[in-house]
């Protein structure tokens, strides 16, 4: 081997080491941004009340209403999960379990809780694992969370009896979690689902956000970060798949999405809606941005939810 070739190979090796090292470092950083729990700079988590908020009265009511504290152990993990429970004004077996979004907490669900309370439901509002007051260091985009929420549903049934009628409702990642729960073996008392602006699967959503926020292509960072997630957290991005889940669902589901959603693009709701195998209805709210359909058009939103659930909840 000539000295020139040897130097060239050494130089190439150094470049490859630097490139691979850089990609590994980037994937670890992206993992911390997307999977590791903690405050996310790109997610609005400000729960301060503002009188300019169209749902100010509802959120203020939720902040001040008397609540019970429920706890649950996460599925397959020694993690304590916490939730608020608010009984309906009139005694009822109807309960809705509400699922908040990525990087959020139960305090952000006040508008939805108030709506369901007005409709006569008991409401259970957990903090998802790794968020709010619940323990955990990983956000799995619905993969683990869906199993946690099934445990919450079963706790409702255990406390309220076999005549319970339960609805699972979720927004954003909570919507995707709701859809993923529908693909599990669920009790007969879980009667219906409402998902608002959930994504098709984590890999597609993360790929979309990498491009939108950082102008990063799918390859190689997204698959490398998914591999890191598999090693550190036990799941690949493609495992958190709402499309695959709703194909197994045979219970009623209402799909809601904002027509101007740029965070979880509106096209995704059409994919999950087409894939769903159960009774279903689709509401697109024109002009509504991500997770803003209720505040944008509260009357239409409430009327649609009420009419849909009235078909299946007595």
Q: Which helix (H) or strand (E) holds 73?
A: strand 68-73
For residue 57, which of 123, 113, 19 has the smallest C-alpha distance? 113
How many structural domains does the chain have?
A: 1
In a domain? residue 296: yes
CATH number at residue 176: 3.40.50.1820
309: its two tokens: 């659930």
What is the C-alpha separation between 63 and 76, in angstroms, rounded? Answer: 32
Residue-wise pLDDT for 19-53, tens only, equals 344 557 778 888 998 999 876 555 555 567 888 99
In a domain? residue 305: yes
Task: Give residue 26's pLDDT.
Answer: 79
In a domain? residue 55: yes
77 CB neighbour count, 10 Å cutoff: 16
What is the C-alpha separation between 132 and 135, in angstroms, rounded? Answer: 8
In a domain? residue 225: no
In a domain? residue 75: yes
Q: What are the average pLDDT values for consecutive 10-residue runs of the chain, which has 314 residues?
A: 53 37 73 84 65 94 97 98 98 98 96 98 98 97 98 98 98 98 98 98 96 90 95 97 98 98 98 98 98 97 98 95
Task: Give residue 158's pLDDT.
Answer: 98
In a domain? residue 280: yes
On the question of a cis peptide bond just before residue 229, with omega within 30 degrees of 0, the verdict is no
In a domain? residue 294: yes
In a domain? residue 162: yes
Residues of the domain holding 86: 51-201+240-310
């Amino acid at each position: 081997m000539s000295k020139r070739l040897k130097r060239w190979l050494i130089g190439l090796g150094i470049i490859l080491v630097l490139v691979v090292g850089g990609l590994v470092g980037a994937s670890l950083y992206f993992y911390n941004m997307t999977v590791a729990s903690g405050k996310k700079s790109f997610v609005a988590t400000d729960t301060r009340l503002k009188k300019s908020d169209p749902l100010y009265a509802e959120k203020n009511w939720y902040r001040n209403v008397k609540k019970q504290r429920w706890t649950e152990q996460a599925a397959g993990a020694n993690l304590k999960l916490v939730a608020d429970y608010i009984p309906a004004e009139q005694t009822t077996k109807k309960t809705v379990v509400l699922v908040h979004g990525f990087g959020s907490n139960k305090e952000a669900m006040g508008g939805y809780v108030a709506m369901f309370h007005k409709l006569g439901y008991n409401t259970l509002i957990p903090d998802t694992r790794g968020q709010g007051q619940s323990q955990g260091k990983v956000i799995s985009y619905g993969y683990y969370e869906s199993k946690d929420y099934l445990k919450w549903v079963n706790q409702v049934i255990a406390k309220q009896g076999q005549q319970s009628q339960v609805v699972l409702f979720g927004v954003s990642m909570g919507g995707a979690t709701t859809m993923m729960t529908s693909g599990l073996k669920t009790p007969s008392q879980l009667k219906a689902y409402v998902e608002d602006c959930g994504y098709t699967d984590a890999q597609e959503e993360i790929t979309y956000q990498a491009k939108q926020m950082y102008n990063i292509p799918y390859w190689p960072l997204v698959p490398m970060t998914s591999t890191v997630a598999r090693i550190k957290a036990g799941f690949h991005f493609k495992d958190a798949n709402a499309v695959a889940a709703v194909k197994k669902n045979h219970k009623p589901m209402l799909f809601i999405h904002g027509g101007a959603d740029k965070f979880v693009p509106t096209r995704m709701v059409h994919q999950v809606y087409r894939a769903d195998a159960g009774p279903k209805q689709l509401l697109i709210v024109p002009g509504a941005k991500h997770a803003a359909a209720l505040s944008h058009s509260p009357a239409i939103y409430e009327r649609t939810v009420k009419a849909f659930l009235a078909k299946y909840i007595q």
